[in-house]
Amino acid sequence: MRRFGTMLLLLVVLLTLGGADPTVELERNRVLLEKWRADPEHWQRLQHDLQAFYALPESRQKAMRRFDRQLHEGDLAVQARRWRVLGRYASWLEKLPAEERRRIDEETNPAKRLQLLRELRSREWLDRLPDRLRNEVLRLPAEQRAERIAQLRAEERRQRQNWQRLSSSRSEEPVPRPAHLNELPTEVRQFVELAVLPRLSADERDRLRKAEGKYPEWLRLIHDLNAAHPVLPPLPSGPIVSPKDLPIGMRRLTRMEIESLRSTVGRWPEFALEVTRQLRGKVPNLPSLGASKLDDFPPEIQTVVRNQLLPRLNDSQRQILQALQGRWPEYPLELLRLAQQKRVILPVMGLPGPPAMWEAVRATSGGS
């Protein structure tokens, strides 16, 4: 029976591989299975997930396999973009109130579910408006409300396009002065919502709330909080967020060390950063727990670094960057520092938006 369960699990893994060489993948998955079985907790969870999968109706199983194949179609850049979208959707869904999640889960009609998602996102967009505009929209009759929302969104798009033109222009145009989340360009707002806000402490959130509406204090605080919580890409194998994810040589942590790590378990890169801080100097040849060589980074970051950043570096900067390869988090932090200095935006890692907007903020604080 145990062998049958193993074969079923292997079959599920193979079925989700669209178009791969069966011989190569069979050997690869045999190795994976041995690795998984060495971790009883992980193995038990996989078996539980397998049972849950086969308990689904056949139509649902087929849909999941089809969805997985679609996720893995296309080149790596396309796949990476799909996973980011899926990750953002999962993160957004997780933050919804239980009742709204239940409504989405129970809606089986795809068209109606999409309409429900749009309604929830539209309501969130309204909530981000300044009080004056939000109250104006809510006071309108239903038939006029949709038209006014369309006008406001069109204004937002025009504002975003103006900021984009500003970022590519060297003319002396006015620098944007946003002081509310909805006033930021869409790509900046999404970055703040997904990469900055979820990682803030209660005290940092409170500081940000009190600064809202004040320029440049609010925007400068966004900049400083992002610098305090830098976006560090994980290894290609995935983020390390718990002791079981650590390389074998790093799993023998003392009870005191494990206790001090408890608050960061499940959080990337906080858990890996704390482990590195505690074990550096204690573990010989401490392995990197995140992307620390250019080839470790997502393809879109590699492209920008090779085509835009490296050509702008002098010999000394290149040598320093080269010397830091393999050191984490030093290498990605130096990449971020150099990218900011050279006005290059690293996808996923760096604050997007018009460089002039951030430069004006840094100038008011004396930042580099």
Assess whether 141 and 203 both reside in one domain. no
The answer to whether the beta carbons of residues 324 and 338 sit under 8 Å apart is no
Do 96 and 148 have their domain in common?
A: yes
In a domain? residue 79: no
Are residue 260 and residue 119 in the same domain, yes or no? no
Q: Which residue has the tokens 């849950």?
A: 52
What is the C-alpha separation between 160 and 166, in angstroms, rounded? 10
Query: Do 277 and 238 have their domain in common?
Result: yes
Domain for residue 80, yes or no?
A: no
pLDDT in tens, 115-171: 888 888 888 877 777 777 788 888 888 778 888 888 888 877 776 666 555 555 544
According to the model, what pLDDT value does residue 99 have? 87
In a domain, 170, yes or no: no
pLDDT of residue 20: 45
Residue-level pLDDT at 159: 67
**Whether residue 146 sits in one domain with residue 107:** yes
pLDDT confidence of residue 43 = 78
In a domain, 84, yes or no: no
Question: Among residues 110, 140, 164, which one ends one of the domains?
Answer: 164
Q: How far apart are CA 312 and CA 307, in angstroms?
A: 9
Residue 320 domain flag: yes
One domain, residues 104 and 146: yes
What's the rounded Cα separation, in Å, for the pair 165 and 184? 15
Same domain assignment for residues 246 and 205 = no
CA–CA separation, 224 and 200 (whole Å): 12
- Domain closes at, from 47, 73, 99: 73
**Which residues does 113 contact at the CB level (< 8 Å), separation at least 6?**
104, 107
Whether residue 37 lies inside any domain: the answer is yes
Structural domain of 66: 2-73
**Domains held by the chain: number:** 5
* Average confidence (pLDDT) per 10 residues, the chain, 368 residues: 41 44 54 71 78 85 82 68 76 81 86 87 78 82 82 76 55 72 90 90 90 89 90 93 85 71 89 88 84 94 93 87 91 91 88 82 55
Which positions ≥6 away from 154 have C-beta within 8 Å? none
Q: What type of residue is 51?
A: Q
Query: Do both 295 and 285 map to the same domain?
Result: no
In a domain, residue 218? The reply is yes
Q: Is residue 169 part of a domain?
A: no
| pLDDT at residue 160, rounded to an integer | 63
Asked if 103 and 160 sit in the same domain, the reply is yes
Same domain membership, residue 58 and residue 33: yes
pTM: 0.51
Same domain, 116 and 151: yes
Tell me: the pLDDT tens digits for 347-365? 989 888 887 788 777 655 5
Q: Please tell me whether residues 9 and 69 are part of one structural domain.
A: yes
The secondary structure of 45-108 as a DSSP string is HHHHHHHHHHHS-HHHHHHHHHHHHHHT-S-HHHHHHHHHHHHHHHHHHHHS-HHHHHHHHH--
Contact assessment for residue 350 and residue 332, using Cβ atoms and an 8 Å cutoff: no
